[in-house]
Chains A and B, each alone.
Chain A
């Protein structure tokens, strides 16, 4: 099995079902690919071979007995290392959790495995999912499979690179400010952030709880729909997971998109947008028009305020969420400490990297007495305005088309000295996280340096169906 290129979920499942090959062989072929390529890419932090092969065996026995196979039977997947896996080391890309072995599974991972997926291992990411380039991993950076001198994006860079380099058929990532869509764009794969509450966050290591989303990274839009179908839906273990019914995403996928109203907001095509990216995205919008979509100019006037809003809210929530890493229960503890307070401070000093400390300090500042109203509360109010912008736009349109990121993949080290320049890589993605609406990034061409460019489609709350349908039609065109 040498050809793993563009191997998708249906191909794996039907080959296993019809016993042309086995889930075991698919798993082994992917491990061989990882062995071959991941030395130079660095997408994986931990492999869980025993768990994968045991699951593959289970699927192969079902196939041998002629049982009907579940939707992800035998599909080799990779899981971002911010999702808890029982008995398998889960680091969140941090020295703080270097040796942490969770005693339970993240709901999304549990649902994937129940649907027959074979979890190959855990993927590299920015520390606690804080970053846009994967250079904030405490272990090693991930390199972009399209050009090893460039970043894969972040923070789900390992998941995006694993799929792009055919080291997994699909992966799970998490998105707080763009961390699924931006790396999908940089690596030339599909990345879907579902509506907030669509997928349970139980077992996801928290960064910013009101903004964290789990979603799929895949080679095709159809595969993203298949994965979403499996992981979506109410989970009593997460009180913010929505009791909104889950539609049949695959049944909707092939419906024609003639007459679908696509909004184009000038605020997403202004200063800072690279020319090659602009041309590709504009030509993608022309394609949607040729497919029968109605292209409607809209305005999302508060967009320029999204990055400052995001960096206040996300850091404030992070400063609170990361208080739990205190050297007591499950994290690194500094040696030779004499007092409790010294233990807290020195353990946190040793365990956290520079960007995580920067965000904890900023978030603590924004929440501290005297600054709460000026920063945190102000940001929450602007969050309302940003959400109202979308509400208003979605009265006129069914979906919105934008670039995913203002540039294609940049070089390692290019932005690592300037946090603000790094934050701007998320300028087109953070608004959807703040408003809680779904968004997808799909490949829409490449630069003259052969670097992938991403088209982003945003939709209404809980209307992943339209987002997927438009993306699928574009992909097939």
Chain B
């Protein structure tokens, strides 16, 4: 077993998930079986292989340039008002579970 119950608890905490005891047990089983399968990647020597994070590197990035110059393809002119108008306050708050007139409300963060 690669992954222990402690690992599952730790990762669940990072992911902001509580999980029931039953879910934890299932997760432990599934993670171990998936990771065992994933381990076949170790058969490959990738020491000289660069990582690929994005396909857009293929059609945009100019490798002859340095720094942010490489990403000029994604640049556009700055438009002070934005490409589209910002959402009206009301619309931006419309889907919030607990809005007031102005803000998204959440439980108190700072204890006094």
Name A's B-contacting residues (CB within 8 A): 99-101, 103-104, 196-197, 210, 236-237, 239-240, 242-244, 302, 304-305, 307-309, 311-312, 319, 323, 326-333, 337-346, 348-349, 352, 354, 357-358, 360-362, 364-365, 368, 375, 377-385, 387, 419-420, 435-436, 461-462
Complex Cα distance A461/B60, Å?
Answer: 13
Q: Which residues in B have some Cβ–Cβ distance to A below 8 Å?
A: 3, 7-8, 10-12, 14-19, 23, 26-27, 30-31, 33-34, 37-44, 46, 49-56, 58-60, 73-74, 76, 83-84, 87, 91-92, 94-98, 104, 106-109
In the bound complex, what is the Cα–Cα distance between A426 and B53 (angstroms)?
21
Q: Provide the bound-state CA to CA distance between A67 and B104, in Å.
A: 48
New contact pairs (4) apart from A312-B38, A345-B16, A436-B55, CB-CB < 8 Å: A327-B97, A333-B97, A384-B52, A461-B58
Inter-chain contact A340/B107, CB cutoff 8 Å? yes
A452 to B11, CA, bound (A): 41
Q: A345: which B residues are within 8 A, CB to CB?
A: 16-18
Find out whether the CB atom of B40 lies under 8 angstroms from the CB atom of A305: yes
Q: Bound state CA distance, A240 and B95, in angstroms? A: 28
Which residue of chain B lies nearest to A239 when distances are taken between CB atoms in the complex? B74
Q: Do A328 and B96 touch across chains, with their CB atoms under 8 A apart? A: yes
Q: Is there contact, CB below 8 Å, between A381 and B49?
A: yes
A78 vs B16: C-alpha distance when bound (angstroms) = 34
B34/A420 in contact, CB under 8 A: yes
Contact B106–A103 (Cβ < 8 Å):
no
Tell me the bound Cα distance from A239 to B14 in angstroms: 29
Whether A99 contacts B95 in the complex (CB less than 8 A), given A319-B15, A385-B44, comes out as: yes
Bound CA–CA A338/B106 (angstroms): 10
Residue of B nearest to A335 (CB): B97
A378 neighbours in B (Cβ, 8 Å): 41-42, 46
Q: Is the interface of A mostly helix, strand, loop or mixed?
A: helix
The residue on A at minimum CB distance from B23 is: A357
Contact between A328 and B104, CB atoms less than 8 A apart? yes
A312 to B56, CA, bound (A): 20
8 contacts between A and B (CB under 8 A): A240-B74, A305-B40, A311-B34, A348-B17, A379-B41, A385-B44, A419-B34, A435-B55
Q: How far is the CA of A40 from the CA of B107 in the complex (A)?
A: 43
B59 and A361: CB pair below 8 A?
Answer: no
How many Å from the CB of B103 to the closest CB on chain A?
A: 10
Q: A240, B54: Cβ atoms under 8 Å?
A: yes
- A240, B16: Cβ atoms closer than 8 Å: no
Q: In the assembly, what is the distance between CA of A309 and CA of B53, in Å?
A: 12
- Complex contacts, B34 vs chain A, CB 8 Å: 311, 362, 419-420
Whether the pair A101, B40 counts as a contact (CB closer than 8 A) is no
Kindly provide the distance from the CB of A301 to the nearest chain B CB, expressed in whole angstroms. 10
**Residue B60 contacts which of A242, A329, A331 (CB distance < 8 angstroms)?**
A242
Chain B: minimal CB distance from A308 (Å): 4
B16 touches A348 (CB 8 A): yes
- Could you tell me if A360 and B95 are in contact, using CB atoms closer than 8 angstroms? no
Given contacts A99-B95, A236-B76, A382-B41, contact A326 B16 (CB under 8 A): yes
